[in-house]
Structure 1
Amino acid sequence: MKVLVTGGAGYVGSFTVRRLLNAGHEVVVVDNLTTGRREAVGACRLHVVDIRDLSAMGAVFEGFRPDAVIHFAALKSSEESLRDISTYFDVNVTGTQNLLAVCARTGVRRFVFSSSCAVYGTPQICPVDESAPARPESPYGETKYLCERMIASYAQATGMRYANLRYFNAAGAADDASLGEHAGPGATQLLPVAVRATLGLPPSLTLRIFGDDYPTPDGTALRDYIHVEDLARAHLQALERLDGEDRCGPVNLGRGHPVSVRELIDVLSDVSGKNPEVVVAPRRPGDPGLSWADPGLALRRFGWSAERDLHHIVRTAWDWHTRVPASLE
């Protein structure tokens, strides 16, 4: 299958590109390299193009004529989106609209979208399944939900098969430390931030926990951490099994196991043999206190379930960041 991957030089995108190539698919990557890295796609064809550039996107599609698209390209910080709403809507929504327009014009038949559990906000019931109402609590979550709705509308009009993959907290790295997440000093993702604090790297030598007054066993927020390799495999399985209308729609991707902030820090301490200095800060706007998945639909629809546990996630992240110090620069 000829597959075009937007954002394929980014974190989850690059792992998915590697899996697609290993499965024998012909792959082209579109990435503006704002956060993506050229070396992450290896020898795969890369077009350095912004998805907001409709003309350039059209030229890429006309030259490649993909059968399918996997769409990762987006801005992805809930916290940042509160400070820069217009840019988030421009990149995430306008960019996706451009992409869908080109897909419709060139006859793309399969579309897999990198959505987010942020569409749920703070779920009323956990584990949360796909029938729960969308109540995003940040502009980022709102953009993802708007994109889901646009994709469904285009699919209805064109007959395109699609999957909106709502994944939870991506983390971890390749077992051999050949690929992983690049998270610089401004990163907000808990695990690389915790690794940075554990190694005593600036800008902060302490690890901040945002809120310890949530209604959870230890007072810290609960999340569903999923290994990036499991996520990449889910994209491949979804793509290859989008052969019926009943398989279209939103699908959760998570382990279905809630993990508190303090639990994650404890596992990192076990893996690293070090204890970061921890301080408690006020809750962060836009962050839900409780969020973990019911991943049952992914198993029923695509035969997918997560295979790697929390210790594996943390160990591979620690190995990656300590073997590749530039990943934290």
Structure 2
Amino acid sequence: MRVLLTGSSGWLGRHLAALLASHGHEVIGLDVVPGAHTRIVGSVADRALVFQTIAHHAIEAVIHAGALHKPDIVRNPRQAFIDTNVTGTLNLLEAAAEAGHRRFLFTSTTSLMVRADVRAGAGAEGAWWMDEDFGPVEPRNVYGATKLAAENLCRVVSRDSGMAVAILRTGRFFPEDDDTHAVPSGPNLKANELLNRRLTVEDAALAHLAALERIEGCETFVLSAPPPFVRADAAELARDARAVIARYYPDAAELYARRGWVLPERIERVYDPAKARRLIGWRAGTDFAAVLEALRSGDPLPYVHDPEWISPVLGQEG
């Protein structure tokens, strides 16, 4: 299949492009900055470029993974988010529908689900259990607001055109340090987040491949490593996450101590990716158990930590 991949110079895009190619797909990468997998340098906000690209390259499906992200808020006005994340998505959807595409993939974010009360802490019943039915959705910043608007455009165009659309709300998979938390350390925090809100970039790419091959209708998916917990753990997770973790992984505290790491005292939200397994057969291959196995064996950690990584920006090669 000839696939237009936006964001092809970014962290997800470079992994996804290689994965698609290894499965026999021809990838036409589009990004605002050059990159190894980027054939066309330009913006999805350029409507003429989008339509010309899909027609000229005989594109058969679109994976829209390009966007302005939360770290971009400090260096871009709100209008730039509207232009790229909303108008750009509409350009791609309409070009794909006009070309008669059967499938369209949109990379969204779990961030848009983190409304003010979620951000403030646990709910009345303990840790928030966040699957595709979680709501109401009230984004806290322009990034989340534009992603939600783009999701709704996906739903409208899918309904009107009959094109199958997968909306993939990914948990965290960035390699850099968290931009709001300095403690615990980056590698420690990433390990902790695999309990409830993170996946590897490799697993995120595999989810896109699964959706490309299997999506029908218009569906939204939450993507994260499978949590070891069940909903009945929610109240205790919010009070004493370490006690819950100890039941599932009795040696976790000892393995962490050897590394000088700390387990989370409380877990106040859990992302549930079960729907993706049911409908498209995807399950993250790397989870918290894989981290503990690496700590036991002394093998490298099963995820990338790169504090020097910066998402590509205009004028900088990705």
Both structures adopt the same fold (TM-score exceeding 0.5): yes
Counterparts of 2:301 and 2:58 in 1: how far apart (Å)? 39
Q: Where does residue 206 of structure 2 map in the other structure?
A: 233
Counterparts of 1:157 and 1:69 in 2: how far apart (Å)? 17
Does 2:172 correspond to 1:169? yes
Cα distance, 1:83 vs structure 2: 7.4
Change (3 A) 1:224 1:158: same
Say whether the 8 Å CA contact 2:169–2:222 is kept in structure 1. Answer: yes
- 1:127-183, Cα deviation, whole Å (9 max, x unpaired): 211111222122211111111110111111111001101111114xxxxxxxxx5x5
Q: 1:142 aligns with which of 145, 148, 167?
A: 145
Where do residues 13-32 of structure 1 align in structure 2 (5 Å cutoff)?
13-32=13-32
Q: Match of 1:112, as an amino acid?
A: L
**Which moved further from structure 2: 62-71 or 309-318?**
309-318
Cα distance, 1:85 vs structure 2: 2.2
Q: Where does residue 175 of structure 1 map in the other structure?
A: none
Cα distance, 1:101 vs structure 2: 2.1
Where do residues 1-329 of structure 1 align in structure 2 (5 Å cutoff)?
1-33=1-33, 38-39=35-36, 41=37, 46-77=39-70, 80=73, 84-122=77-115, 123=118, 126-133=128-135, 134-171=137-174, 181=175, 183=176, 188=179, 194-195=185-186, 224-242=197-215, 244-245=216-217, 248-257=218-227, 290-310=268-288, 311=291, 314-318=301-305, 321=306, 327=309
Counterparts of 1:188 and 1:165 in 2: how far apart (Å)? 23
Counterparts of 1:272 and 1:8 in 2: how far apart (Å)? 39
Counterparts of 1:223 and 1:156 in 2: how far apart (Å)? 32
Say whether the 8 Å CA contact 1:81–1:140 is kept in structure 2. Answer: no
Where does structure 1 lack aligned partners over 5 or more consecutive residues?
A: 172-180, 199-206, 210-217, 276-288
Alignment length (residue pairs) = 265
Aligned residue for 1:75, secondary structure, equals: coil
Q: Match of 1:231, as an amino acid?
A: A
Cα distance, 1:119 vs structure 2: 2.2
Change (3 A) 1:189 1:110: farther
Cα distance, 1:105 vs structure 2: 2.1
- 1:74-102, Cα deviation, whole Å (9 max, x unpaired): 01116827973222122111111111221
Aligned residue for 2:93, secondary structure, equals: helix
Q: Match of 1:135, as an amino acid?
A: E
Q: Match of 2:3, as an amino acid?
A: V
Cα distance, 1:58 vs structure 2: 1.7
> How high is the sequence identity, in percent, across the aligned residues?
28
Where does structure 2 lack aligned partners over 5 or more consecutive residues?
A: 230-236, 243-251, 262-266, 295-299, 312-318
Query: What is the alpha-carbon root mean square deviation over aligned residues?
Result: 3.9
Aligned residue for 2:59, secondary structure, equals: coil
